[in-house]
Structures are given as C-alpha cells and as structure tokens.
Amino acid sequence: MCGRYEIQASPESLIALFDLESDGLRVDAEALCDRPEVRPSNEVLVVLNQEPTRLQSAAWGYIDTWSERLRPFNARDDKLLGRSWHTAFETRRCLIPATAFFEWRVVPGQKRKQPVRFSMRDKAPFCFAGLWNRVQGRLSCTIITTKPSTLVAPVHDRMPAILSASDRAVWMRPGVVDSGECLKPFPSELMVGEDVDPSLRSGALTRAPPQLKLF
C-alpha cells in the first residue's frame, strides 16, 4: 500500500527526469512540484502514455467510467489482469513523480505507529508506475503496488512500484506488459529508510532529529 508520499523537486529536474518538452510542465501543475506530504484525493503530477511529453495534474484516486466518486488510490500488480484493471493496464498507463514515500511500522509497547520515509540514496526524484482515466474531463490516477524490497519488508508487505529509467520506457509502451518485467521491488541498495517525526498526524511529515534509525 502507498497512502502518503512526497514530491519536492524543481520543475527543471522533472522535465529532465521525464525528457519532457521545454514547456512540458503545464501551468496548473507547477504548484504541485513542492509538497512534503501528498494524500489520496489530492491533485498529483502525472505523465500519461498518450501524452508522454507533458507533465500535468490528476486526482489521486481512480475514477471509473461508471462512477464519479474517487476510487482506489492503489492497484495491486497481481490484480492488473482482472476485470477491474485490465483495460487501464492495457491502454492507460502513467508515471507519477515523487521524492519519497511513507509507510508506518508497529513499535512494540506503543499505540502510535512510527512513520518511515523511503527515498533514493542520492536524493534524486523518481517515479511510480500508475494507471489513469478521464471521466467527463476529470483526470484521475492510481499508484501500482508490488511486493516489498528487503528494505521495505520489515515495515510493510507492499510497496509502490518504482520504475527505473529502462523500466519507464517499457511501462509506457502500448499493449500488455508482463507484470514481472518492470513491476518489481526496487533495489534496496539504492534506497534509504528513515524514521520521521510521529507527532505530526496532519500536515507535513518532517524528518526526525539526528537520532534517526536508518535501515
């Protein structure tokens, strides 16, 4: 599951990440580049397979053609060929940029779970694999989850599907792609997990003081 993530990147870094046109960041999307906490139902940045040179905004929470309400904000990679997702999987894929995602781990003897921030070791932006839909002009999306890496597994049994540069090219091609080909746990050695301040239940999740537990 992925229910919170962070995007704190310059427009220029995102244009470079996705090899967009120089004006490929829509004006309505520029304000979405710098947010320490993104939640389901928020507007998020996406690159659609049908418009691969532009970065635009979409509601995080998939809206199906027969419903106007927000639908799932995650889609499991092992369910993509089922009735709920197969059409989007075959034809409507997207990339969703981020700089970190959050999961919560159980702390023995404490009621409150400890939030953990997962990011790249080099602090570079990356992207999730996603699916999108457009209903009555409203664009929406969902983030695909997969099995956890060895880094994430102690905290949660799922993680967002993060795509490498080569996997991004595969993911954005039309037609069915074997889930095992590019939807897989991202290499643990390229990422870091760190505890963040658990007292911030709403608003930004900030990094904890220097006594962070790194793993």
Prediction pTM value = 0.88
How many Cβ atoms sit within 10 Å of the Cβ of residue 122? 9
pLDDT at 202 (0 to 100): 43
pLDDT(211) > 50: no
pLDDT tens sequence across 151-182: 999 999 999 999 999 899 889 986 766 666 88
How many domains are there within the chain? 1
Assign 4 a pLDDT band (cuts: 50, 70, 90). Answer: very high
Q: Residue 68 and residue 50: Cα distance in Å, rounded?
A: 22
Is residue 100 assigned to a domain? Answer: yes
CB 41 within 8 A of CB 48: no
Across the range 74-101, mean pLDDT stands at 93
| Beta carbons of 172 and 96 less than 8 angstroms apart | no
Residue 148 lies in a domain: yes
Helix (H) / strand (E) element for 117: namely: strand 114-120
Q: Is residue 205 part of a domain?
A: no
Instruction: Report pLDDT for 203.
Output: 47
What DSSP line would sit under 30-79, residue for residue? HTTSEEEEE-TTSEEEEEETTEEEEEEEEEESPPPTT--S---SEEEGGG
pLDDT attached to residue 84: 85
Q: The domain containing residue 116 runs over which residues? A: 5-195
Q: What is the mean pLDDT of residues 80-94?
A: 90
**214 assigned to some structural domain:** no
Helix (H, G, I), strand (E, B) or coil at 25: strand
| pLDDT over threshold 60, residue 201 | no
Mean pLDDT of the chain: 85
Least confident residue range of 50-64, 103-117, 135-149, 196-210 = 196-210
Give the range among 36-45, 151-160, 181-190, 197-206 with minimum mean pLDDT.
197-206
Position 210 in a domain: no
Rounded Cα distance between 163 and 108, Å, is 33
Q: What are phi and psi of 150, to 5 degrees?
A: -65, -25
Residue 118 lies in a domain: yes
212 lies in a domain? Answer: no
For the segment 113-131, what is each residue's pLDDT rounded down to a tens digit? Answer: 899 999 999 999 999 999 9
pLDDT over 70, % of the chain: 83
Integer Cα distance of 39 and 66 in angstroms: 24
**Percent composition of the chain: helix, strand, coil (DSSP 3-state, to 5):** 15, 35, 50
Distance CA 88, CA 46 (A): 15
User: What is the per-residue pLDDT for 27?
Assistant: 60
What CATH number should be reported for the domain holding residue 97? 3.90.1680.10
| Distance (Å, whole) CA 66 – CA 133 | 11
Please give the pLDDT value at position 156.
94
Residue 211, in any domain of the structure? no
Residue 1 has pLDDT above 90, yes or no: no
Could you give the C-alpha distances from 97 to 13, 57, 109, 166, 175, in angstroms and in order?
A: 11, 11, 36, 15, 22
